Structure 1
Amino acid sequence: MPGAGAIILREGRASDAPALAAIHRRVRQAAMPGLHEAHDEADVAHWIATTLMREHRVVVAEQDGMPLGYIGFGEDARHGPMVLHLYLAPAWRGQGIGARLLAAAGAALGPRLGLHCIARNAAALRFYRRQGFRVVAQSDGAGTEEGEPDLLLRRDSLPTASNDREPSP
């Protein structure tokens, strides 16, 4: 639950991976009940520490030393600058943290960003649309681990300041 200390953004560390994996799983289960998870929490933590953090950049939002959420981003050979993961613990939504994490990716990669989102993740889609993203392509999910239809979203400019405190995914 929200505490009293300042919420800071910092570079992710391999030691964060178990907490980030727990957030990852909790958020997905809450947003999309019944979602087929191809990997358990330990596998996700291993992937975050050994692949996501080594090949891309991860920024963690934390309060009083406790991770609240994270964003993973980098260059994708096919799609250019991409947000690869953005997960925020449900208790922390609506406080502008998701927008701050997206701003960190935008500061590093520029305002033109892409991302994939599972089509039935309505809360995430609302958030991304408020942040200036639009759907540019969709798939039937046959090529995804979850087997779920997904959307490719793109943002070509920074959102207005009024969007900064909207609920996060």
Structure 2
Amino acid sequence: MSRDASAAAVVLRRASAADARAAADVWLRSFTAALPTVVRPRTDAEVREYFRHVVVPRHETWVAEGADSAVVGVMVLEGEELSQLYLAPDLRGHGIGDRFVALAKEHRPAGLSLWTFQVNAPAHRFYARHGFTAVEWTDGARNEEREPDVRYVWRP
């Protein structure tokens, strides 16, 4: 499938309680593929429970739904923070992340911030391409993974 065709077949919509498991599973697959050196402090079951009890019911959670109705991406907005943006590994580079960022900017026109791990070079390039600027680097002492990270900010 071409880049444009696959992105066009995907629908972005607000997540419902029924999407929590599928959204968590996308997060798990994506995290494993994109961040193989980062140690997760939570088990798969704990991540799924967190999505079910916290992420989907308490935060503005969006999913990308493929033509077959499968959830293939998840984005979470918490206030001004873009706290989660994960895609099924086989759909990275197909424009879905671009659509999620455009949606986030539309819903947060005053600006956004986010954190990503320093080892995630593709994320750095992605966010820079979308106008985000790196403003803070840490040693990871404040995140659960204890992994050095970087904060990005976008202002219109």
Report the TM-score when normalising by structure 1: 0.83
- Equivalent in the alignment of 2:135: 136
- Structure 1 unaligned segments of length 5 or more: list them: 76-80, 158-169
- Equivalent in the alignment of 2:88: 89
- Equivalent in the alignment of 2:149: 150
2:6 matched to 1:7?
A: no
Letter aligned with residue 13 of structure 1 = S
Equivalent pairs, count: 152
- Equivalent in the alignment of 1:23: 26
Letter aligned with residue 71 of structure 1 = M
More helix by share: 2
- Equivalent in the alignment of 1:57: 60
Deviation at 1:111, TM superposition (A): 5.0
Deviates more, 1:11-20 or 1:58-67: 11-20
Counterpart contact for 1:138–1:150, Cα < 8 Å: yes
Letter aligned with residue 133 of structure 1 = F
Deviation at 1:55, TM superposition (A): 2.3
- Equivalent in the alignment of 1:107: 106
Report the TM-score when normalising by structure 2: 0.89
The two structures, once aligned, show a CA RMSD in angstroms of 1.9
Alpha-carbon separation, structure 2, partners of 1:106 and 1:73: 10
- For 1:108-131, what per-residue CA distance to the aligned partner results, in whole angstroms no more than 9, with x for missing partners? 121511000011011111111111
Deviation at 1:101, TM superposition (A): 0.9
2:73 maps to which of 44, 69, 73: 69
2:43 matched to 1:44?
A: no
Deviation at 1:7, TM superposition (A): 0.9
2:119 matched to 1:120?
A: yes
Alpha-carbon separation, structure 1, partners of 2:39 and 2:134: 23
Alpha-carbon separation, structure 1, partners of 2:53 and 2:97: 24
Residue 114 of structure 2 aligns to a residue whose secondary structure is strand
Deviation at 1:15, TM superposition (A): 1.7
- Structure 2 unaligned segments of length 5 or more: list them: none
Alpha-carbon separation, structure 1, partners of 2:94 and 2:102: 14
- Equivalent in the alignment of 2:36: 33
Alpha-carbon separation, structure 2, partners of 1:90 and 1:54: 25
Q: What is the identity percentage for the equivalent residue pairs of Structure 1 and Structure 2?
A: 36
Counterpart contact for 1:18–1:42, Cα < 8 Å: no
Letter aligned with residue 74 of structure 1 = E
Deviation at 1:34, TM superposition (A): 2.8
Deviation at 1:70, TM superposition (A): 0.9
